[in-house]
Chain A
Amino acid sequence: MNLPVLKAADFASDQDVRWCPGCGDYSILAQMKKVLPELGVPREKTVFISGIGCSSRFPYYMNTYGMHSIHGRAPTFATGLKSTRPDLMVWVITGDGDALSIGGNHFIHCLRRNLDINIVLFNNRIYGLTKGQYSPTSSEGQVTKSTPMGSIDHPLHPLSVALAAEATFVARSIDAHVKHLGETLKRAAEHKGTSLVEVYQNCNVFNDGAMAYAQERKQRAENVVELEHGKPLIFGTNNDKAVRLVGNHLEVVNVADVPADDLLIHDEKEMNPSIQMMLARMRYPEMPEPIGVLRAVQGIATYNDQINDQVTAAKAKKGEGDLQALFNSGDTWEVA
């Protein structure tokens, strides 16, 4: 059977997109629409579930099945759906406030269960929809509407949280780096298990330029290192810098100054997440921030497979459930 060839436009719903002009969300939406036709999954088999926040309006703009749910809980709706309908491709669209603050609990549990879904976390380090309060990823000292003297919260780092929860796929990309974003989303979709993609996304109204060091093309080369499996972590405008492991920490070196064997080679398939965690902890401005796939390990059972395998195993062992037999099992008596 020949499946119809879909285009990006086929995935657009008839709804007007209502994000602020210049919002980074547009880029993510565009890349998603571009990537989906390449995956070969029909529109009707694709479901977007979101929580609350600017990012969470996303499902309304996709011509697929979708659910705009309640704040922070999107992974839980996805759990019920994917557990009962493993045939569907399920995407969770969430933001830093949604996933890490009110939904922190569910975020962790979804990752540790390894439900076979894809979570795209739009991180703009601010609350946009509620008009500019600080978020769990906002920098210490950040002055916002709710923190006039500066935030006193230590920020939470989504990739570190994900690795701590033993997530099987952990990646980061950037709204403005469209090619990289598209490729990363595609890899996430192809992963079996929960995939998390953190996307640096600019809120040009309430936190404009907070991640300009990574988003702007001119600065990016110096401040971001693109991870590639099996390759050294080389970066810099002239590809002259690299990261190496010394003792129990990472440091930046000039490529010219050290033997090639000294450079850290990225291994996304390593089951032990210790070095991946060190990568997740590289922060601007002391270190280049990694983008790409930090971790992609295979062979770990998914929640949806296991919940369904138990049903299959129970049927194989006991036979298809028989109500009348159940009712008559155990101690019964007759009244004549």
Chain B
Amino acid sequence: MTASPTTSKDVQTVSGITVRLAGDSGDGMQLLGTQLTNTSALAGNDVATFPDFPAEIRAPRGTRAGVSGFQVRFASEEIFTPGDHLDALVVMNPAAMVTNLGDLRKGGILIANEDGFNEKEFKLAKVESNPLDASVIEEVYRVIKVPMTALTREAVAAHGLSQKIADRCKNFFAMGLVYWLFGRSLEPTLRFIEDKFGKKPDIAAANISALRAGWAFGETTEAFGESYQVEAADLVKGTYRNMMGNQALAWGLVAASKLSDKDMFYGTYPITPASDILHEVTRFKNFGVRTFQAEDEIAAVCATIGAAFGGTMAVTASSGPGIALKAEAMGLGMMLELPMIVINVQRGGPSTGLPTKTEQSDLLQCMFGRNGESPLPILAPRSPGDCFDIAVEAWRLAVECMCPVLILSDGYIANGSEPWKIPDVSKLPKIVIKHPEGGESDAPFMPYARDENLARPWAIPGTQGLMHRLGGLEKEDGTGNVSYDPANHQHMTDTRAAKVSRIAERIPDQDVYGETSGDVLVISWGGTYGSCHTAVRNCRNAGHSVSHAHLRYINPLPKNLGELMRGFNKVIVPELNMGQLRMLLRAKYLVDCIGVNKVQGKPFAVSELFEAIESHVSTAKDGKSKADVRNKAG
């Protein structure tokens, strides 16, 4: 048998497919989804993914709470979201079916592991009878029942594994079947199996057998008359790889460290969904990366500040609850005026909230969640691949300004993936850092003298003649000595604020998708980029006057943003929070904004945004409200 057999059945070419794989949290659905994503990306499709899993490592088996899902869209056109509605749904048990079926479009393919549908499972899933037997199911969907467990056992029987281990191979059977259905090559996954299970040859062989059996089942069963093919997407020329958000952040950090000729120190405490950044950067010790898994969040950020004081590129990352604990030290970092990066991979809040679900509700925490007047620059990546660029940009700003810079990612970006065009490293701009040189003179050093960016010198211990003391007590301008002088405190507060606000002069003007004036402007930030962009595109295709401005710089905001907002009759701000950016925009620009808000642990569907925007188009056409006219005049 060749590595990747070809089908003898009919093949139908389609522009894109959205498929969701759902099973128990121990069923290996995330692995299956990741493999399908990677294989589709290698086939040249544009891909977007949405993993969705429970917060418990092993939630009670078979229950609705334990359902783990992975959605992937692959397409021959450029896509920005993993899709609203499913073309195909693979379910391993009744709980997975009942919790996901609502997203399957009419006429969509439902592939069910028949062996997972029995009395015990019905009870666990809290369904009264077999949901597959409901007559309406067969009428609405194309239902394919496959006894995956039995077929997998048969396929791997020759390898002499225990039944428990053999049953674990069934996700590879499901994978093989899905690969057949969508014309995916087996080769990348065969390579993956060799890599991952190379030291356990019997397990590797069994998984390969299961994968091939799944493929053969698709080819031979009469249930499928044809398979589907998605052509390669028309992406910009170059070499690509599949990239997840947290991975891109990690790679961006190590790139920033190399571009600035600095070793990196990464101090952190494990927290979902930020931990994967640690797992990734700790592999890069040969790049000079030192990772510190601290005893708590506070130790993590403080060690980061210590490393920054020593002249190292210093990074800490967490999610909302951890950022809350880091707040006091972030204020100190701001007072010490030392460069570092603080990453917040947001999740549902408040408190422990929804650890594995996405939300954008830490914006105001990051803007204001420190004591005293404590402004910090904030950047937000818009997609998994953009995390790379944002990480490099954050470090550049941190050293230019000499202050901590915040990156606001979120769980959706962190775990999602997309094709990433590999940059030419030799063309990435260097980040130039100059530490002041000392000398034998004992003339007092001025640690708080400032340059044109209002940044103070990054003098590092070990440098002769530059001895100085930092601390959280207010510093006298220039000398850095402790000062309680009222005018000095005002001056230093103003200076620190000006330092951040002046960044607006060095960042690009806000770009717009669509016209720079019209009926409706949609303003978004962070991980909702894909949904908002697609919804606006659909509105424009429907002939509406709608434009889109997506913010990657949140503090300071791009300097043309206010003027841009005033060019539209209505401004709509969709956010996965209850209106945090909207509050900032209203306060800063005195322009009314309409919120589209939800906190359900889920990203926006394109359709719900489309409807929300469209509902405002007709009233926006009526012209500006009196309030807006007044604002413009003012």
Q: Is A43 in contact with chain B by the CB < 8 A criterion?
A: yes
Are the CB atoms of A60 and B471 closer together than 8 Å?
yes
In contact, A87 and B462 (Cβ under 8 angstroms): yes
Q: Which of A64, A79, A313, A324 contacts B425 (CB 8 A)?
A: A324
CB distance from A115 to the nearest CB of B (A): 10
For residue A6, give the distance in angstroms from its CB to the closest CB of chain B.
12
Asked if A5 CB lies within 8 Å of chain B CBs, one says no
Contacts of B285 in A (CB 8 A): 310-311, 313-315
Distance from A14 Cβ to chain B, minimum over Cβ atoms (Å): 7
Within 8 A of A (CB), among B16-70: 38, 41-44
Asked whether any CB of chain B lies closer than 8 Å to the CB of A77, the reply is: yes
Q: Indicate whether A1 reaches chain B with its CB closer than 8 angstroms.
A: no
Q: Which residue of the partner chain B has the closest CB to A11? A: B467
> By the criterion CB–CB under 8 Å, are B472 and A81 in contact?
no
Neighbouring A residues of B263 by C-beta, 8 Å = 84, 311
Q: In the complex, what residues of B have CB within 8 A of residue A49's CB?
A: 306
- Asked if residues B240 and A332 are in contact (CB atoms below 8 Å), the reply is yes
Chain A, residues 277-291, CB within 8 Å of chain B (1/0): the string is 000000000000000
Given contacts A44-B465, A335-B44, contact A66 B254 (CB under 8 A): no
Cβ contact of B267, chosen from A63, A65, A80, A331, cutoff 8 A:
A80
A44 touching B462 in the complex, CB below 8 Å, given contacts A323-B258, A335-B44: yes
Q: Is B361 an interface residue (CB 8 A)?
A: no
Assess the A308–B469 pair: CB atoms within 8 A.
no
Name which residue of chain A comes closest to B422, CB basis: A327
Binary contact track B349-377/A, C-beta < 8 Å → 1, others 0: 00000000000000000000000000000
Contact (Cβ within 8 A) B241 A331: yes
Q: Which single member of A42, A59, A82 contacts B471 (CB below 8 Å)?
A: A59
Given known contacts A66-B469, A88-B462, A335-B44, is B286 in contact with A318 (CB within 8 Å)? yes
Of B112-120, B294-302, B488-496, B566-574, the stretch lying at the interface with chain A is B294-302
**Contact, CB under 8 Å: B42 / A70:** no
Q: Contact mask B162-202 → A, CB, 8 Å, 1/0?
A: 00000000000000000000000000100100000000000
Q: Which residues of A contact B237 (CB under 8 A)?
A: 335-336
Q: Which of A73-122 contact B (CB under 8 A)?
A: 73, 76-85, 87-88, 105-106, 108-109
Interface size counted on chain B using CB atoms at 8 A:
75
Known: A80-B304, A311-B285. A59 touches B469 (CB 8 A): yes
Binary interface encoding of chain A residues 295-336 relative to chain B, with 1 for a CB under 8 A from any of its CBs, else 0: 000000000000110110111011111011011101111111
C-alpha gap A73/B237 in the complex (Å): 50
**Closest CB of chain B to A61's CB: distance in Å?**
9
User: Nearest chain B CB to A72's CB is how many angstroms away?
Assistant: 9
**A334 CA / B419 CA spacing, docked (Å):** 11
**Residue of B at shortest CB range from A49?**
B306
Q: A196: CB under 8 A from chain B? A: no
Cβ of B141 < 8 Å from any Cβ of A? no
Of B270-278, B308-316, B514-522, B609-617, the segment with at least 4 beta carbons within 8 Å of chain A is: B308-316
Residues of A within 8 A of B240 (CB): 332-335
When the two chains form their complex, are residues B303 and A76 in contact, meaning their CB atoms are under 8 A apart? yes
For B314, the closest partner residue in chain A by CB is: A80
Name the CB-closest residue of B to A321: B287
Binds A, one of B328-336, B408-416, B557-565, B620-628: B328-336
The answer to whether A106 and B310 touch across the interface, beta carbons within 8 angstroms, is no
Asked if A80 and B236 sit within 8 Å, CB to CB, the answer is no
A70–B290 CB distance below 8 A: no
CA–CA, A324 to B239, complex, Å?
12
The chain A residue with its CB closest to the CB of B259 is: A323
Q: Is A13 interfacial (CB 8 A cutoff)?
A: yes
A179 to B530 CA separation, bound complex (whole angstroms): 70
* Chain B: minimal CB distance from A46 (Å): 8
Q: Knowing A70-B328, A80-B306, A319-B286 touch, does A44 contact B239 (C-beta < 8 A)?
A: no
In B442-485, which residues have CB < 8 Å from any A CB? 444, 461-473, 481-482
Instruction: For B302, give its contact among A69, A323, A327 (CB under 8 Å).
Output: A69
In contact, B286 and A317 (Cβ under 8 angstroms): yes
**B228 interface hit (Cβ, 8 Å):** no
Nearest-neighbour CB distance to chain A for B494, whole angstroms, equals 23
Chain A residues with CB under 8 Å of B267's CB are: 80
Does B305 touch A at the CB level, under 8 Å? yes
Q: Does A45 contact B (CB under 8 A)?
A: yes
Contact partners of B299 in chain A: CB under 8 A: 73, 76, 79, 105-106, 109
- B303 to A333, Cβ gap below 8 A? no
- Return the contact of A83 from the options B307, B311, B461, B471 (Cβ within 8 A): B307
A336 surroundings in chain B (CB, below 8 A): 237
Residues of B within 8 A of A43 (CB): 467
Within 8 Å CB of B188, what residues of A?
A: 331
Complex CA distance for A15 and B482, rounded to whole angstroms? 9
Cα–Cα, bound, A68→B475 (Å): 12
Is A47 an interface residue when CB atoms closer than 8 A count as contact? yes
In the bound complex, residues from chain B placing their C-beta under 8 Å from that of A36 are: none
State the CA gap A228–B32 with chains docked (Å). 66
Determine whether B242 belongs to the interface, using a CB cutoff of 8 Å to chain A.
Answer: yes
Point out the residue from B191, B296, B423, B469 that lies within 8 Å of A65, measured CB to CB. B469
- Tell me which of B289, B290, B312 has the highest count of chain A C-beta atoms within 10 A of its own C-beta: B290
Asked if B302 and A44 make an inter-chain contact with CB atoms under 8 angstroms apart, the answer reads no
Inter-chain contact A65/B468, CB cutoff 8 Å: yes
- Chain B contacts of A106 at CB under 8 A? 295, 298-299
Q: Judge whether A44 and B466 touch: CB under 8 Å.
A: yes
Q: Which residue of the partner chain B has the closest CB to A329? A: B241
A227 at the interface (CB under 8 A from B): no
| A69 touching B298 in the complex, CB below 8 Å, given contacts A321-B258, A323-B254, A330-B241 | no
Report the Cα distance A80→B291, complex, angstroms. Answer: 10
Instruction: Across the interface, name the chain A residue whose C-beta is closest to B313.
Output: A84
Q: A234 near B: Cβ within 8 Å?
A: no
B422 and A328 form a contact (CB under 8 A): yes
Shortest CB–CB separation between residue A334 and chain B, in angstroms? 6
Q: Does A199 contact B (CB under 8 A)?
A: no
Q: Which of A85, A308, A314, A332 contacts B422 (CB 8 A)?
A: A332
Assess whether A67 is interfacial by the CB under 8 Å rule: yes
Question: Which residues of A sit under 8 angstroms from B422, Cβ to Cβ?
Answer: 327-328, 332
B462 touches A45 (CB 8 A): yes
Inter-chain contact A333/B44, CB cutoff 8 Å: yes
Q: Contact check, B309 vs A81: say whether CB atoms are below 8 A apart.
A: yes
Which B residues are CB-close (under 8 A) to A44? 438, 461-467
CB–CB B425/A335 < 8 A? no
Cβ of B150 under 8 Å from chain A = no
A-B contact pairs, 11 of them (CB 8 A): A67-B470, A76-B299, A76-B302, A80-B267, A80-B292, A83-B292, A105-B295, A105-B299, A321-B288, A323-B254, A331-B41
Extra pairs beyond A84-B306, A333-B240 (17, CB < 8 Å): A59-B469, A67-B471, A69-B471, A70-B302, A76-B299, A80-B306, A83-B290, A85-B310, A106-B298, A109-B294, A109-B299, A311-B289, A323-B255, A327-B422, A333-B44, A333-B241, A335-B44
State the 8 A-B residue pairs at the shortest beta-carbon distance, nearest first.
A80-B306, A68-B471, A321-B287, A80-B303, A314-B285, A77-B306, A76-B302, A80-B307
